[in-house]
Structure 1
């Protein structure tokens, strides 16, 4: 497998299908007040850096960096089931961290959930540590908040 990470428009058909799959999974796993994903159209906003992972024509995953005041937030990081365990998530995180550095950001934050244990382990392997809530998030009993200094 040869994974290539590239910038994309979230609203294009292929990336949209990835995001819809991610959001469908989140809706099946969590109550509405526990879901913090951005609408697909918002992932094309000027403060978002959206990327996809490809192997040839096949889309394997996606992720976004939201540029905020003083930090960046990882959003919508998702890898198709068939591509999990093959380094796609790590490649996406690496590309988003590179984008954050290019923006002059020195701190990345994210929100995930205990129920997404593989995601928590992936982020921890890449240097993300648990922290308290941040931004507009409220405690909801399932969110896990993490950050990493770049």
Structure 2
């Protein structure tokens, strides 16, 4: 029997570091440095970030973060699932937890940036109600980036 949990957890733990390193390696393999916008542990370990870990039978296999930007919106960061666990619904489960947290914080919008070479991620976001938008915040127009938004209320 498979037990899957998603919970808010500390960023600074070895299992999470391993997931983040896999995520960074994937981004680095797919995109040039100027098109990568990943956050390191110190940037994720701040009060305005809620960090979630998906575990299957206790093993950390996925993660994602909600970074509260202002009173209106939060940004999804570091959503990643270990390749060995893809197809189990972990990314959707982490995304659901992030959305619930955003609603609990009273946010009206979720935004994100992802890359054009990640069609599975884009498909998940579109299937869960995100729509494409122009660059937001400090992002600049980048032909390798896709910017998306979802209204929460």
Same fold (TM > 0.5)? yes
1:31 corresponds in structure 2 to 32
1:51 corresponds in structure 2 to 52
Contact 1:8–1:15 (CA under 8 A) maintained in structure 2 = no
How far the C-alpha of 1:14 sits from its partner, in A, is: 0.8
1:121 corresponds in structure 2 to 123
Q: Provide the C-alpha distance between the structure 1 equivalents of 2:91 and 2:145, rounded to a whole number of angstroms.
A: 20
How far the C-alpha of 1:2 sits from its partner, in A, is: 2.2
CA shift digits 1:44-65 (9 cap, x unpaired): 1111000000012211100000
Stretches of structure 2 lacking an aligned partner (at least 5 in a row): none
CA shift digits 1:54-82 (9 cap, x unpaired): 01221110000000112000000000111
SS of equivalent to 2:78: strand
2:75 corresponds in structure 1 to 73
Instruction: Please list, as runs of the form range in 1=range in 2, the aligned pairs for 1:1-150 lying within 5 A after superposition.
Output: 1-69=2-70, 70-150=72-152
Contact 1:5–1:54 (CA under 8 A) maintained in structure 2 = yes
How far the C-alpha of 1:42 sits from its partner, in A, is: 1.1
Q: Provide the C-alpha distance between the structure 1 equivalents of 2:112 and 2:13, rounded to a whole number of angstroms.
A: 25
Calculate the TM-score normalised by the size of structure 1: 0.97
Aligned residues: 150
Q: Provide the C-alpha distance between the structure 2 equivalents of 1:31 and 1:40, rounded to a whole number of angstroms.
A: 21
Stretches of structure 1 lacking an aligned partner (at least 5 in a row): none
Calculate the TM-score normalised by the size of structure 2: 0.95
Q: Provide the C-alpha distance between the structure 1 equivalents of 2:3 and 2:116, rounded to a whole number of angstroms.
A: 30
SS of equivalent to 1:110: strand
SS of equivalent to 2:15: helix
Contact 1:107–1:149 (CA under 8 A) maintained in structure 2 = yes
SS of equivalent to 1:135: coil
